[in-house]
Amino acid sequence: MACECTLTLLLWPHALRHAKHHHYTNHMTNGETWVPSTANPEKASVKFAKSPIGTIRRIVVVALLGWYTYLFTNATGAKQNAGQSHFSPSSRALFKAKDANLVRASNLGMIACLAVLAKCVSVWGFSAVFFNYLVPQTICNFYLCAITFMQHTHESVPHFNSEEWTWLRGALSTIDRSMGSHVDWRLHHIVDSHVVHHIFSDMPFYGAKAATPYVKEHLGIYYKSNLGSKVLGSEYLGYWKDFYSSMSRAVVVGVGEDNFMWFR
Say yes or no to pLDDT of 147 above 90.
yes
Q: Residue 141 — φ and ψ, nearest 5°? A: -65, -35
Beta bridge partners of 252: 37
Residue 206: pLDDT band (50, 70, 90) is confident
In this structure, which long-range contacts are made by residues 90-95, counting pairs with CB atoms below 8 Å and at least 24 apart in sequence?
Answer: 94/13, 94/16, 94/17, 95/13, 95/16
Instruction: Provide mean pLDDT across the span 2-11.
Output: 59
Burial of 117-136, coded b for 16+ CB within 10 Å and e otherwise, reads eeeeeeeeeeeebeeebeee
Query: Residue 254 belongs to what H/E stretch?
Result: strand 253-255
Residue 252 phi/psi, 5-degree rounding, is -130, 155
- Please, is 214 exposed, middle or buried when counting C-beta atoms within 10 Å of its C-beta (0-12, 13-18, 19+)? exposed
Residues in the chain: 264
Q: What is the pLDDT of residues 219-264, one digit of tens each?
A: 999 999 999 899 999 999 999 999 999 999 999 999 999 999 999 9
Q: How far apart are CA 95 and CA 87, in angstroms?
A: 10
Question: Among 75-84, 119-128, 162-171, 232-241, which is the least confidently predicted range?
Answer: 75-84
Distance CA 145, CA 59 (A): 10
Mean of the per-residue pLDDT values of the chain: 92
Average pLDDT of the residues in 10-39 = 89
Taking every pair of C-alpha atoms in the chain, what is the biggest distance, in angstroms?
62
* pLDDT for position 158: 96
Residues 6+ apart with CB under 8 A from 16: 94, 95, 99, 102
| Helix locations, 10-99, DSSP H | 11-23, 44-50, 52-61, 67-73
Three-state DSSP at 262 gives strand
pLDDT digits (tens, 9 = 90+) for 59-118: 999 999 999 999 999 899 888 888 889 999 999 888 889 999 999 999 999 999 999 999
